[in-house]
Structure 1
Amino acid sequence: MERFVDVTPGIRLWAEQIGPEIAADAVAPDPVLLIMGANASGLAWPDALVSRLAEQHPVIRYDHRDTGRSAWAFDRHPYSVADLAEDAIAVLDAFDVERAHVVGMSMGGILVQLLLLDHPDRLLTATLLCTSALDAGLAGAAPDLPGPDPALLRLWQEMDDPRDAEREIDWRVEHWRLLNGTGTPFDPAEFRALEERIIEHTGWYDSPSAHAHADPGGLDRGAELATVDVPTLVIEAPEDPVNPPPHSGHLARAIGGARMVRVPGMGHALNATVVEPVAAAILSHAARGGEHVVSSADERV
């Protein structure tokens, strides 16, 4: 089921719900809300992962502002990164969801941390993957934690460069190759098909880059994470070239009572080889209510 969500005048978000119907019945399965990373459509959550989660839960994914079929309006309506967290609440409201298991990847993980601080009553559990703590800044800006791979930094310099359709897809596939890292196989055909589908879904091939220009103010709230009491799982991607170890460990320690699991070989991409372990970790965490275990040592999936 697809719908559009009006969040502010001039800003409309595309969203869809897959799997069991959302119901207020006490025995109905609780929904899962998926929040993707910067400049990424909700379709970047692989269908195989969504389908696996939807076997047990209603799953909601959506396009951030300036991605996919949501409003591309940054030039007319500039916003902060923190505003994108409030968009997630608007999506839950549109689907009449009081509380959900919320999963955030990359920048989506930053947004989930803001939700943990500002809207804990809307989260049943939180799962964070391929992300950094609020006190580390976007893309690991903290001086005592490693930053992104220099090859990625060089490629990001080209984000706003004009490209025709074929060159744009080539650029995006190369971006995924670097994000994937070397710990798991990279299949360029898999990611080319993904980006072709996202472009078809969007209706044009312009490179989404607004989030790189959004105001990052209001994210320096790492000290508040110790107060979090929502059951939280951190999934570590040991080959992540954006937020490499020890980012996940730092995040897990910063959040009160968080657990951490590691998906061996995983980078900053949800390729076919990591879908099942990531889905299993999310489902297990949701099922157990994310029991609080302070974890300096990590588990493997």
Structure 2
Amino acid sequence: MINGFTESFAGLPVFDITEESEFTGLPDPASVAWRLRIDDYVEAFEPFETLFAGFLEHVDTARVRALIFGNWGPTYEVTSTRPLALLTDAAVRFPDLKAFFLGEYLQEESEISWIMHGDITTLFTAFEGLEEVVVRGGSDLALEPLKAPALKSLRFEAGGLPGRVVRAVAASELPALESLELWLGVDDYGGDTTVPDLAGILSGERLPSLRALGIQNSDFQDPIAAAVAGAPVVARLEALSLSMGSLTDTGAEALLSGQPLGHLARLDLHHHYMSTPMMARVVAALPGVAVDVADQNDAEDEWRFVEVSE
């Protein structure tokens, strides 16, 4: 996912705008997801500012529904607060914005842990109609508890997701949220989330519409699986993902010994450390569920890695 550009976002094909764009032959503003990015490696933020100014000048942004901010320059020096401020300061120009992806850097452009952020709460206060948000990178990321009545899908992609962000999500009022995906990452890259931080999410009390939950990319996936096994929110889910992490037979056993999971349409456990017999047990125990146990790592390996960290 972090090695290639997304070709569609929010149900729309992606249309690239780079510093080489001449703003001619543009598509209908509402028919595409617009991606703004600097195509070459640069040491400054000013080219992205110029690019955004050109976008405002040549595109009827009142009809833009989906927007992606990719490479805005050196992420280890220029935090996302600067490109985000460009957007929020122009919020009146984007009355129909429904989906936003912040930080679509490919791995060849920047390691995910090098994407520096700040407090992104202003995104949600400036655009109360947002229905889908994706944030890539977790370094210095901050968020205050939200009231986001329209938000349906929220995904944080990180090699280390700060616990304060998870706690903020858990304390938010998100009545329409249907899909939540958290890449927790590892402590070495700022991933200091703990199982208690997840309590508000796993209770489901503030998430009445949640149908898909991913708590992924964690080096403590077994304790997470044990917590999920008894979590009230699971009973209403259609899809559950504990993928990309260090899940072992211990965590899988906790899942199988917990509440029934046969109501799920999908259970994603890919990238794991389960033994082959346990993989077979999980699949056999859930005959009506699409179970993904691909990407098996050596269950005997004492060094266990998440799928995405640095």
Task: Give the TM-score of the pair, scaled to structure 1.
Answer: 0.31
Normalized per residue, which structure has more helix? 1
| Higher RCO (C-alpha under 8 Å, 6+ residues apart) | 1
Task: Give the TM-score of the pair, scaled to structure 2.
Answer: 0.31
Larger radius of gyration: 2
